[in-house]
Amino acid sequence: MPGSVTSAVEVTNISKHGLWLLIDDQEHLLPFQEFPWFKTATVQAILNVERPTPTHLHWPELDVDLSLDSIAHPERYPLTSKL
């Protein structure tokens, strides 16, 4: 499909502490403490992740958008949400 991103993203695990993403052969833990939008989400909503650009992830059911830099370096992106 023209314009589609071929880089892979996959949710590989969800635990009580967070979720694991496999992005371009690298695994990343997204702890719920740093990424609270996923804590009460359904498994289906978490698994429905899209990668519209090489540096951006989107969860359409949750209306959550994350840059890959915010996943790799969450300390650079302090939370403003009080979920």
Give the residue carrying structure tokens 């880089």: 7
Q: Once rounded to an integer, what is the mean pLDDT over residues 73-78?
A: 84
Question: What is the pairing mode between strands 56-59 and 50-53?
Answer: antiparallel
Which CATH number is 49's domain given?
3.30.2020
Residue range of the domain that includes 50: 9-76
Domain assignment of residue 46, yes or no: yes
CB 53 within 8 A of CB 66: no
Answer whether residue 12 shows pLDDT above 70: yes
Domain assignment of residue 16, yes or no: yes
Answer whether residue 4 shows pLDDT above 70: no
Q: What is the pLDDT of residues 16-54, one digit of tens each?
A: 999 999 999 999 999 999 899 999 999 999 999 999 999
